[in-house]
């Protein structure tokens, strides 16, 4: 679904689902934010999700099931998309615990997956960019949870601090300090490895 549909449309879908269990409205909402939910789940699953891509599918499916009842509890404190991402993240973390996979780490910084093949660019530059992305992923993999999800959802997805504080159950100041410390750790490691000036 197109990204041009905004929060008002999301709220209309939520209202239709809450008031009359209108399944097409729920499907429209979840379909519109499927990518965000998958990315939030992949971030929470980290390296484990990369090694077992089916785990991302399981987490998103679990999140979709949870949302059928969780959306009735939605109070509007955060944007609907933020709420969906938080439910997907929690479902993914539960999948890790259920499977006994406590080594979950960050999957991506700004984009999931490898660089496109056959991009027609400079092969040396492409290899350097890929190595830089891998270095950034490795640095992110050292972050614990919820820091890696906070960094991802704020920096890559652009979610608001206020919303992150609400869905993570943290004070906004705590979110800011966790983000500051996590970014400082990432920068320090990347500088040591020669990836940042």
Q: What is the mean pLDDT of each run of 10 residues along the chain (197 residues)?
A: 55 84 87 93 85 85 89 81 91 79 33 44 69 78 86 84 89 90 85 73
Closest-CA residue to 102 (of 144, 153, 150) = 144
Q: What is the model's pTM?
A: 0.55
Domain residue spans in the chain? 7-107+123-192
pLDDT at 15: 84
| Calculated CA dihedral for residues 105, 109, 110, 111, nearest 10 degrees | -50
Rounded to whole angstroms, how far apart are CA atoms 92 and 94? 5
């Amino acid at each position: 679904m197109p990204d041009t549909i905004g929060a008002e449309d999301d709220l209309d879908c939520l209202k239709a689902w809450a008031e009359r269990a209108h399944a097409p409205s729920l499907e429209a909402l979840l379909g519109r934010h499927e990518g965000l939910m998958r990315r939030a789940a992949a971030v929470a699953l980290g390296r484990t999700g990369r090694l077992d891509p089916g785990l991302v599918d399981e987490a998103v499916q679990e999140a979709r099931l949870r949302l059928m009842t969780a959306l009735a509890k939605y109070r509007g404190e955060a944007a609907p998309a933020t709420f969906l991402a938080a439910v997907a993240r929690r479902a993914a973390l539960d999948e890790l615990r259920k499977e006994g996979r406590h080594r979950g780490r960050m999957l991506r910084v700004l984009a999931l997956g490898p660089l496109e093949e056959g991009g027609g660019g400079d092969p040396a530059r492409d290899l350097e960019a890929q190595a830089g992305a891998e270095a950034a992923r490795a640095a992110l993999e050292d972050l614990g949870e919820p820091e890696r999800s906070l960094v991802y959802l704020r920096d890559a997805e652009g979610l608001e601090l206020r919303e992150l504080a609400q869905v993570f159950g943290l004070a906004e100041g705590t979110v800011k300090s966790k983000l500051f410390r996590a970014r400082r750790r990432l920068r320090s490691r990347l500088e040591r490895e020669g990836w940042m000036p």
